[in-house]
Amino acid sequence: MDGGTTRTAKDLSREELYALVWERPLNRVGPELGLDGPRLAKLCAKRQVPYPPPGYWQKKAVGRAPAPTPLPAEEVVPLKELAPRTSRTPRPTAVASKKSPAVARPNEARAPEPPSIIDAKETEKDDGLDPLDGLHPKIKAWIAEHKREQKERAQENRRRRNDIWSWGKSLLDDLTPRDLYRFRASSSLCRAVEAAGGRVKEADIHGKLTFTVGGRDIECMVKEKMSRPIKRPEGEAAKWTAYPHHYNSGLTSSGFLRAQISTWLPGEQQQWVESQRKPFSQLIPAIVETVVASVPRLIEWERKREEDRRRYQEEERRRWELRRLKEIDDARWTRFRSAATNWQEKQLLDAFLTELEARLASEEDHTIGEKTTTEWLDWAKDRAAEFDPFAEGLAGLFRDVQRP
């Protein structure tokens, strides 16, 4: 742990540790104590502190979580033998009370600190890459960014040191030799692209470089080539980078870098992986050549894409126009069929009105409501005339059919 924190997981009593792990998940409590979730689980097992089983927090969210496992009253810590035995009498096991301090282990050495930038300078060799004191300005800014973030995290932890329940980010380790090697490789690639007529537009500390060549932006990734070890590395072997959260926790560095153009281009996306026989400095010319050659391919692809877009828009307009014309034609046909239905109903009404007039001639005129029988017959003739599709002749019929 860095000096910026005042309490670590080992400083907590078993009761305090027990209360923490049953209040929140391990992967949330761990970073506050400078550990990740699995390491905090190992520490709890070592100190005989029960912690929630898998699935506990999901069950608790729906009110079905089991009761917490009780904390054992005492922690049994076996004493290591410091000298050969002189008797066959079994050595008693020391039982520490809850208030007893943990037994010191003389054979346990303090873990070495991560290498600093000065140590990394001393290990530089003539590998054809930019030295640390001659990095490209955008890459040099990465080191300044790392120092700033380190300082901010330390200050944040100091502000929270009096409140063990508050949450803060874990301290940021120093840059490792692998980080600095990647920085130097990225710097050398940036300078090579600039020498070929390009420009470094953006550079992300985690490996993404954006070059502007021929008016086009080409993104390139320079990252560690990861490998899956047979046994998960522990201790200093696991601290190969200051940014472990940006890599798969089940993988580790292979000791070589990998470069790839991440901008989509037609064809296969080429990548380069260094090896012992071919270090990264020997890959840079091929990478730069591919980056420069990618610009014409990108321009051609953009031209084809623009042509495809215009062709699609024209086809879409044509389909839309056909749909519009069909909707107009369907509406006209509906009106034409409606006219035929009205004509058929008009014929039926005319025959019915003729029969009514014949009956009126033989019967007396009667008053029904506010009208006489004759007036009712005139009213029916006026309404029946509304159904006549030929009221304005054949031209009037089709004018009604073609109206908007």
Query: In total, how many domains does the chain have?
Result: 3
Least confident of 38-42, 194-198, 349-353: 38-42
Torsion angle (degrees, nearest 10) of CA 194, 196, 197, 203: -30
Rounded Cα distance between 170 and 114, Å, is 16
Instruction: Quote the pLDDT of residue 108.
Output: 37
Rounded alpha-carbon distances, angstroms, from residue 348 to 164, 334, 343? 95, 21, 9
**pLDDT above 50: residue 101:** no
Instruction: Quote the pLDDT of residue 124.
Output: 56
Residue 202: strand pairing partners: 210
Which range marks the domain in which residue 334 is found?
A: 320-402
CB-based contacts of 29: which residues, under 8 Å, 6+ apart? 20, 21, 23, 40
pLDDT in tens, 301-316: 889 999 999 999 999 9
pLDDT in tens, 351-394: 999 999 999 888 888 899 999 999 999 999 999 999 999 989 99
Last residue of a domain, one of 17, 52, 76: 76
Check whether residue 307 and residue 331 sit in a common domain: no
Instruction: Quote the pLDDT of residue 58.
Output: 78
Check whether residue 60 and residue 157 sit in a common domain: no
Instruction: Quote the pLDDT of residue 338.
Output: 95
> Angle 382-385-386 (CA atoms, 0-180°, nearest 5)?
100
Check whether residue 206 and residue 301 sit in a common domain: yes
375 by DSSP, 3-state: which?
helix
Q: What letter does residue 88 receive in the DSSP assignment?
A: S
Check whether residue 337 and residue 235 sit in a common domain: no
List, in sequence order, every beta strand (DSSP E) within 231-385. 252-261, 271-273, 367-368, 371-372
Q: Where are the alpha helices (DSSP H) in 98-204?
A: 117-122, 137-159, 177-195
- Mean pLDDT score of the chain: 82
Last residue of a domain, one of 267, 288, 318: 318
Structure tokens at 299: 């321009």
Higher-confidence position of 360 and 116: 360
Check whether residue 309 and residue 329 sit in a common domain: no
Evaluate whether residue 391 is within a structural domain.
Answer: yes
Evaluate whether residue 98 is within a structural domain.
Answer: no
Check whether residue 311 and residue 349 sit in a common domain: no
The confidence band for 192, taking pLDDT boundaries of 50, 70 and 90, is very high
Evaluate whether residue 17 is within a structural domain.
Answer: yes
Q: Where are the alpha helices (DSSP H) in 217-279?
A: none
Check whether residue 133 and residue 202 sit in a common domain: yes
The confidence band for 110, taking pLDDT boundaries of 50, 70 and 90, is very low
The confidence band for 115, taking pLDDT boundaries of 50, 70 and 90, is very low
Check whether residue 325 and residue 297 sit in a common domain: no
Structure tokens at 313: 């828009």
Structure tokens at 104: 């010191």
Pair type for strands 367-368 and 95-96? unpaired
224 by DSSP, 3-state: which?
strand
Average pLDDT of the residues in 12-23: 88
CA-based radius of gyration for the chain = 43
Max CA distance (Å), the chain: 147
Evaluate whether residue 25 is within a structural domain.
Answer: yes
> Exposed e or buried b for every residue in 280-299, given b needs 16+ CB within 10 A?
bbebbeebbebbbebbeebe
Check whether residue 7 and residue 120 sit in a common domain: no
Check whether residue 328 and residue 295 sit in a common domain: no
Cα–chain-centroid distance for residue 39? 26
Structure tokens at 232: 């998960």
Structure tokens at 86: 């002189």
- Give me the sheet containing 199-203, strands edge to edge: 199-203, 208-213, 216-227, 252-261, 271-273
188 CB neighbour count, 10 Å cutoff: 22
With pLDDT > 90 as the criterion, what percentage of the chain qualifies? 48
Check whether residue 291 and residue 150 sit in a common domain: yes
Evaluate whether residue 105 is within a structural domain.
Answer: no
DSSP 48-83: T---PPTTHHHHHHTT-PPPPPPPPSSEE-PPPP-S
Evaluate whether residue 106 is within a structural domain.
Answer: no
Of all residues in the chain, what percent are helix, strand and coil, respectively (each to 5)? 50, 10, 40
Rounded Cα distance between 127 and 136, Å, is 17
Q: What letter does residue 334 receive in the DSSP assignment?
A: H
Evaluate whether residue 88 is within a structural domain.
Answer: no
Average pLDDT of the residues in 180-190: 96
**pLDDT above 60: residue 104:** no
The confidence band for 119, taking pLDDT boundaries of 50, 70 and 90, is very low
Phi, psi of 224 (to 5 degrees): -70, 140
Q: What is the pTM of this model?
A: 0.53
Check whether residue 60 and residue 144 sit in a common domain: no
The confidence band for 99, taking pLDDT boundaries of 50, 70 and 90, is very low
Last residue of a domain, one of 261, 294, 318: 318
Evaluate whether residue 95 is within a structural domain.
Answer: no
**pLDDT above 50: residue 97:** no
Q: What letter does residue 9 receive in the DSSP assignment?
A: G
328 CB neighbour count, 10 Å cutoff: 12
| Residue type for position 396 | G
Instruction: Quote the pLDDT of residue 260.
Output: 94
